[in-house]
Each structure stands twice: as C-alpha cells, then as structure tokens.
Structure 1
Amino acid sequence: MPERGDAERTEEATPRRRQKAREEGNVPKSRELSTAVIFLISVIFLYFYTPYLIESFSKFIKHILSKTNYIITKNSTIELFNFTFQYYLKVLIPFFALLITVGLLVNVAQFGFLVSPKALEPKWDRLNPINGLKNLFSKRSFVELLKSLFKIFVVGFVAYLIVKGKIDQILVLADSDPFSSLVFLGKLVFELCFKIGLLILLMAILDFFYQKWQYEQDLKMTKQEVKEEFKQMEGDPLIRQRIRSMQREMARKRMMEEVPKADVVITNPIHYAVALKYDANKNKAPIVVAKGQRLMALKIKEIAKEHGVFIHEDPPLARTLFSQVDIGEEIPENLYKAIAEILAIVYKMKNNNIKQ
C-alpha cells in the first residue's frame, strides 16, 4: 500500500475499508515467511531425497554409457532426448510440486484464500520515476534496508560459528579419500542450511508480525475519511432526507388508520389531539394510537367525526398526553383516574345508542 501522510490518521480502519483493501489484493503478508518455510522444507526434503537422486542419477549415467556403439541418427537422438526428459521429469516433479504446495499453504495461512483480479491490473503509477525516488528514500525503505543488513549479519555470523566449530575436521580432509570428503561436506552443507533455515524462519515470523502491525497503521483513517466513507455508504443526504420523509409519511398513514378504531380523542380544541384505545383483554391501561398538533390534530378530529369516535375537549389532559406518551405506549398511572372518567362517559353513550 502506498504511504500516506501520518497527520491525523488516528481512526481504526472501518470494515468497508478492510474489505476494499482485500479486494485489491492488499493483505497483511510477509514474503520472507514464504521464502523461509519453502527454503527449510526444501532442505529437509533434499536430505531424505538425495539418496534416491544419487541412485537415479547413477542409473541414468549407466544407461548413457551402455550405448558404447552409439550411432547418432534421428531415431537414436529422439530416443535419448525422451529418456533424458523422462528422467528429469520423474526426478524434479515431486520437488517442484512440494514447493508449490508449501508456498500456497503458507500464503493461505497468512491471509486466507483470496483471488483478486484487481491485484493483477497494471499499476501505472509505479512507472513514475518521481514516485520511485520517493519510495526509495522513504521510511519504509530505510526499515527494509536495516532488516536486510541485520539478516545478512546474523546469517553470516551463524555460518561462521558453524564452520569454525568444524575447522579441525575440514583441515584433515586433504588426507581423506574422496568419498569420505564428499560425505562430510554434504553433511556440513546440510547442517549449515538447516540451522540457517531455522534462523531465517524465526526472523520471518517476527517480520510477519511487523508486517501485520504496519498493515494496520497503513489502513488507519483520518476523521474526515471516516465521515466521507459513512456518507458514501449511507448515500446522498438528499436521498436520505427523502427516505426519512417517506418513512414519516407512511408512519402518519398507519397512525391515521388507527384513529377510527379509537375509543376517544382528547383534544385541546385547535392545538392538540390524542386518540386512545382500551382493550381490557390485551392492555392494562389505555394506549395512545394516534396523536398530532395543529394541522395533524385537525386531521385526527376530522377522521374521528367521520367514524363516530367520541371527541372530548380537555386542554390540560391533551397537552400532558401529547408530551408524555408516545404512540403505542400505555398512559401513566397518574392519568388513570382522569381517563377512566372519560371512558366511562364514552361507554355510557355507546350503550345508550345501542339501546335506542
């Protein structure tokens, strides 16, 4: 990821930013970890695979040398080429298959399975020499240089200590037979590679944690970036306002549909109107099914008149209900007595109408 200014980058990356970075192939990974694991596995594999390689190569040489009266013709050349090709194919395929498998597994272990077409797209800004110079003299490049120098020093020092411990045995190789010398040198090379491989792996693991930390730092955002992303995710302010307006309109429509079902509408003649409904089987107390002020209050009263809902004028009670009780809530206990008296009148009027 290109370096950005550190000013005010104090906010943790949002999930959207992390997802976008992953889609672009920008994930926390250490190339050194892949290299170290592949190198160490290769050394161990070759240690056990070398006897087979020697035996196979011996058979290959014997086959070539058995052609004592070899006559170069088109057919004999094709035969020799096919034999040589099959030999190298049989010998090298297991080794390269192992390397590819290990490389894939190490990468999957670092950042999971990821296929990112965007990561394959050409980055033309990398061809800009000015950007190249900036990256060359950046803080990250300086850190990478220090890491490389440290690794060279440590690996060289460890190799020196291993060889120094074997110096006496190396000096007497001149008096040994060639086979013993080759065996000794082979074991020494394996010991060097194995111990250096373990050391490189340890440094690569530390580098992986450093890369994860650096990745998190690179992903951090400014407060302004967080706001801009929120706006993009939420949409245009005008659209959000339109959606909220539509939601309010739908809520008003549903509220008005409840007015005809109300038992009573309590009003402050012009300013407030609150519709109440009481169902003794469902609620402990009457609930507010609709409320409004000014034009909305007039609309509630109009619908109530059309459907024969009782309208009771009580300005103080109407104001209290409007300010203290939301739609769908039960009235508070301190209003039980006042509402009960009103409902008693309503039920009495309904009974009289039914008798008539």
Structure 2
Amino acid sequence: MAETSDQDSKTEEPTEKKVRDALEQGNIPVSREAPIFASMAALMVILTFLIGRGVQQITLTLKGLLDDPDGFPLGAPADALNLLTVVGLEALRFLTPLLVIFAVFGLAAQLLQNAPNLVLQRIMPDLSRISPLNGWKRLFGTQGLVEFAKSMFKLASVSAVVAFVLRSSEAKAFEAMYTDPVALPEMILSIAMRIVSAICIATIVLVAIDLAWARFHWRRELRMTKQEIKDEHKQAEGDPLIKARLRSLARDRSRQRMIASAARATLVIANPTHFAIALRYKREENAAPLVVAKGMDVIALKIREVAEQNRIPVIENKALARALYEAVQVDQVIPAEFFRPVAEIIYFLQSKQAPRPEKVQ
C-alpha cells in the first residue's frame, strides 16, 4: 500500500536531469521482444540464402565419406583425429555464417533501441536481484503481468500462424508421400520459410506494441513528486536561503570596502544625515573628481564618521548631495553636469585651507 501511494504521488513528468541520470546509470527503455524478432528475421535470412547451399555442401561431404569409407583409414588414433577434423571443419564452415548472422541481428536489435553505454554499476553484485521477495514482486507486479500477457499473446499468435500454414500445406504433405524423396528437403524448407515469415509478421506487431509500452513504462517509473522537483531545482540553482545569505554577505563586504575607501577621499558632500558622497580629486590622478564611496542613512553616517576621523572636509549641500547620489557610481568620475558645482566647492576649500569641516549654505 505504501509503495502504491508513493507511486501515485509521482504525478510530474521527469526533468531532463532525471532522464539524463537514468541513462547514465544504465536505466534505459528496452523491448524484450525486439531480440526475438531479430532472431526470427535472422532465421528467415538463413533459410532464404544460406541453408540450402550449406546443407547441400555438407551433404556432399558426408556422401563422399559414406560412398568411399576406405578413403579414410581408421587404423590408428591419428586417422580418427583426421576424420573428425575434416568433419568438424565442414560443420564449422556451415555453422559460422549462421552464428555471425544471429549475432549481427541480435546486436542490431539492441543498438537500434539505445546507444551503447558502458555502466559498470549494472554488473556489480546486487543482493536485491536474488531476493525472493523482490522476485515475487517482479512476477506478480505490473511488469510481471504485462510480461505474462505478452507471453500469452505470443503463444496464441505463433500457434495460430503455425496451424494456418500447416493447414494450407496439408495437400503438399499428402503429395509428398508419392513424390521423389530427393524433393522432400526442398518442400520442408519451403514450409519452414512460410512458417518463419508468418511468425515474423506476427512478431512485428508485438514488437511495436512492446516498444511503445517499454518507453511509456520507463517514463512512468521516472516520474517525480513535486517535492523532488523542488529539491532538484535547489540542487541545480542553489538553496534560495543560502544564496540570499551569500548575497547579503557579499553586499556587507562591498559596503565595508567602500566605507574603508572613504579614507582616501579629499572631500565629502553630504545631506546632513541622509546622503553622503565621498570624492577624491588629485589633479595628477584624474581629470575630474572620482567617487570613492557613497551611501544613504546608516552608510552615510559611517562615511561621515570615517571622514571626521581622517580630517576630510564634509560639505553639507542638500540638493547637490541628493542629485549626486542618484547620478554617480562608485569608482567612476562624476558626470559633466556636476563639474561646475563640485569645482566651486573644491575652489572654496583650497582657498580657505580649512582644517576642520565647514558648512556652506
């Protein structure tokens, strides 16, 4: 019940990361019917192009052995070994193309479904695979019932196809009783080809259904809960609380550096307690005053405090301080429209040479 409810809670489609992780771990949609169809197709190719010629060749070899038994003396163990070698090589020449075709079709059935991917984790020992309880669940679970239904469909389809082909060949079977025995292999081969081709056609339908079911079941098993999607998003983007905390720390460090930079200023323009802009002007450094710090409220008070500690003139000009705060950026020179009012303040300070902060109305 708990497992069913957990599966029911997985209502969201899998994310790209979930699908990618499943593929990397070797969890891929696979049709078990595709290799069976590939085997039947390989058998059809063999019956059509190879079996007749191969049987004819091996028949000639055996006929030569039976017609001329004296040609292979068996007086010593070496003679028996030579005879077995000849027969074995002939059988190997007959079986090798068959095995190669079966292997090629089997590999093609797997490669056409999914790209090859070496996953060592899939071949590692796993005790759950030999657990009787898990085996019982696999047998009587949804997947087990689907496999049972497919097996029954295959049995019914193959039985119906074989019965239909044999019934249609019933007349030929009776005629074979009165024909030359030499023609029997060709007739049997013809009937076998009809049976295999009919089974291939029936298996194609099953393979198409099984491919669709395998991919549907695979994506259904990969479904996620809403909480899993949220957790994955947090892992990919970072926890919002942690990111907010990191941004806050970064802003604090930036403010501290900026406030410390206020000690390099040559004057501070302030709106008594709300705004403060620390400017540095040295003719040999910059063509225009450089903004080294700016702040509002608490930061403005900190900038004024640093200025007073370093005996930097603080000029109170409400309109100019507010306008500068809105227009300037730290580590940049002031815009051209502020050159004249700031230049007047600098000229005033240089002419007065005041060691203490002055207030200009």
Q: TM-score, normalised by structure 2?
A: 0.74
**Matched residue, 1:16:** 17
**Separation of aligned partners in 1, 2:174 and 2:261:** 103
Identity %: 27
Q: Check conservation: 1:255, 1:290, Cα contact below 8 A.
A: yes
Q: Check conservation: 1:264, 1:312, Cα contact below 8 A.
A: no
Q: Would you say 1:248 and 2:251 are equivalent positions?
A: yes
Which has the higher mean CA deviation after the structures are superposed, 23-32 or 145-154? 145-154
SS in 2 for 1:6: helix
Letter of the 1:36 counterpart: F
Q: Check conservation: 2:161, 2:199, Cα contact below 8 A.
A: yes
**Separation of aligned partners in 2, 1:296 and 1:248:** 12
SS in 1 for 2:7: coil
CA RMSD in angstroms, aligned pairs only: 4.1
Q: How far 1:88 moved relative to its partner?
A: 2.8
Distance 1:325 1:199, change over 3 A: farther
**Separation of aligned partners in 2, 1:251 and 1:88:** 84
Q: Check conservation: 1:269, 1:315, Cα contact below 8 A.
A: no
Distance 1:61 1:223, change over 3 A: same
Q: Would you say 1:33 and 2:34 are equivalent positions?
A: yes
1:132-143 matches, within 5 Å, as 132-143=135-146
Structure possessing the higher relative contact order (Cα contacts under 8 Å, 6 or more residues apart): 1
SS in 2 for 1:111: coil
SS in 2 for 1:217: helix
SS in 2 for 1:161: helix
Q: Check conservation: 1:267, 1:315, Cα contact below 8 A.
A: no
**Matched residue, 2:161:** 158
SS in 1 for 2:113: helix
Q: How many residues align?
A: 335
Q: Which runs of 5+ in 2 are unaligned?
A: 281-289, 354-361
What do residues 85-109 of structure 1 show as CA deviations (whole Å, max 9, x unaligned)? 3223322222222322332232222
Letter of the 2:126 counterpart: K
Q: How far 1:207 moved relative to its partner?
A: 1.0
Distance 1:311 1:218, change over 3 A: farther
What do residues 231-285 of structure 1 show as CA deviations (whole Å, max 9, x unaligned)? 44566788756644554356547766987999996644334446799xxxxxxxx
Distance 1:197 1:171, change over 3 A: same
**Matched residue, 1:280:** none
SS in 1 for 2:295: strand
Q: Would you say 1:344 and 2:340 are equivalent positions?
A: yes
Q: TM-score, normalised by structure 1?
A: 0.75
Which has the higher mean CA deviation after the structures are superposed, 131-140 or 192-201? 131-140
**Matched residue, 2:57:** 56
**Separation of aligned partners in 2, 1:193 and 1:172:** 22
Distance 1:181 1:18, change over 3 A: same
**Matched residue, 1:284:** none
**Separation of aligned partners in 1, 2:133 and 2:328:** 64
**Separation of aligned partners in 2, 1:193 and 1:307:** 102
Q: How far 1:155 moved relative to its partner?
A: 2.8
**Separation of aligned partners in 2, 1:11 and 1:327:** 47
Q: Would you say 1:205 and 2:208 are equivalent positions?
A: yes
**Separation of aligned partners in 1, 2:118 and 2:110:** 12
Q: How far 1:187 moved relative to its partner?
A: 0.6
Q: Check conservation: 1:18, 1:219, Cα contact below 8 A.
A: yes
Q: Check conservation: 1:10, 1:220, Cα contact below 8 A.
A: yes
Q: Would you say 1:181 and 2:184 are equivalent positions?
A: yes
2:231 corresponds to which of 228, 232, 238: 228
Q: Check conservation: 1:310, 1:346, Cα contact below 8 A.
A: no
Q: How far 1:174 moved relative to its partner?
A: 1.8
